[in-house]
Amino acid sequence: MVGDNLKHDNPTFPMAPGPVGGPAAWRGPEMAASDDWIYRLSDAEISELESAASTCEAAGLDTLSITKADFPLPAFGARLASLRQDLLHGRGFAYVRGLPVERYDMAMLARLYFGIGVHIGDPVAQNRNGHMVAHVIDIGTSPDDPKQRITQTPVELPFHSDSVDVVALMCRNSARSGGESSIVSAVSVHDEILKRRPDLLEVLYQPIHIDRRGEIPEGMDPWFQLPVFNWHEGLLSTFGPLRPYIDSAQRFDAVPNLTDLQLEALDLLDAVARDEDICLHLPFEKGDIQFLHNHLIMHGRTVYEDWLEAAKKRHLVRLWLSMPDGRPLPDQYRQRYVNIELGTRRGGIHVPGLKPVLPLQPETPAYH
């Protein structure tokens, strides 16, 4: 059991010896000048996906029990294997475009999407209700409610990373206006901060308190501590927390006030991530699937105006995927991931009594 036994009162964590660079240190304008990172599905590959999903349905397989072996993709599977390597060891993100989502009801779409997902990694629970497939859609909750996530509202999402190795986002419907996805290389952000303010980069290598928003593993506090940048076994891994979750952690008496240096460092982190010479803006098109390696990429979203008709509302469907052959993570990640061992399902949400479920419609995660 990992309780609140990882104390960081006077932490000293290693820093990268200099600029990290490498294939994941891309910049937005260079990516925008090319589309070789977008893979467009062919008609034959779509038929292959539909056949695999229909075979699983005919066999009576529950969607959450589908494995890679249950979902053979002789042609598209090879492309997914290549995409997977690029996620882990290359630029850290990829796009699949052209899935005809309007053809399918939600049960079929979830089955098909889950089948794609298991070719990349192992799905894990994304919230306290055990949702293995999550709906990113405005459900009317307040963005100021510290008991709820702000992803299910239309407000801007600051740059952040999710609590798992890889996140996949599939676009079922786009917004009436806004809701643009933005992604940034965390390696490029790190190296730019090193160039501008190495003193503030050092601050970002120290743990900061982050609100769990009610998703509390057994024996742990309602917050956790984790640095933004982590150097471990020669690799830079980033945990970009949502700034509102840092701010709401201040509601707990035991959490120390943010220092002036921490505030300055977090402001610089956000400013560099938003820099037009660094970030990449990506309008979501219906049928897009975005894959992001959370240790290498931070992502955000612009505010959006939605459609009045419920059937047209902006709707993304999310998978969180653990990579059994992913990178080693430093011990401080246990504060959030609980389990960090390679070869296992790591990351996701861990709360007492959690049972994996597949909601076919958006739900408000119950607060316990």
Q: Is residue 88 part of a domain?
A: yes
Q: Is residue 304 part of a domain?
A: yes
Give the tens place of pLDDT for each residue, 21-56. Answer: 999 999 999 999 999 899 999 999 999 999 999 999
Number of domains forming the structure of the chain = 1
Asked if residue 140 has pLDDT above 80, the reply is: no
Give the tens place of pLDDT for each residue, 147-183. Answer: 556 666 778 788 999 999 999 999 998 878 777 889 9
Q: Is residue 51 part of a domain?
A: no
Q: Is residue 108 part of a domain?
A: no
- Judge whether 124 and 168 are in contact, CB under 8 Å: no
Q: Which two tokens stand for residue 21?
A: 């660079």
351 closest CA partner among 168, 169, 202, 222: 222
| Locus of tokens 């303010």 | 197
> What confidence category does residue 284 fall into, taking pLDDT thresholds of 50, 70 and 90?
confident
| Locus of tokens 């990290």 | 20
Q: Look up the domain containing 131 and give its range.
A: 28-40+83-102+123-337
Q: Is residue 45 part of a domain?
A: no
For residue 254, the domain's CATH number is 3.60.130.10
What does DSSP assign to residue 123?
A: E
- The pLDDT score that the predictor gives to residue 142 is 57
Asked if residue 226 has pLDDT above 60, the reply is: yes
- Judge whether 173 and 286 are in contact, CB under 8 Å: yes
- The pLDDT score that the predictor gives to residue 5 is 32
Q: Is residue 96 part of a domain?
A: yes
The full length of the chain comes to: 368
Give pTM, 2 decimals: 0.92
Q: Is residue 251 part of a domain?
A: yes
Q: How many CA atoms lie within 13 A of 143 on its CB side?
A: 15
39 closest CA partner among 79, 75, 73: 79
Q: Is residue 366 part of a domain?
A: no
Q: Distance between CA atoms of 310 and 301, rounded to whole angstroms?
A: 21
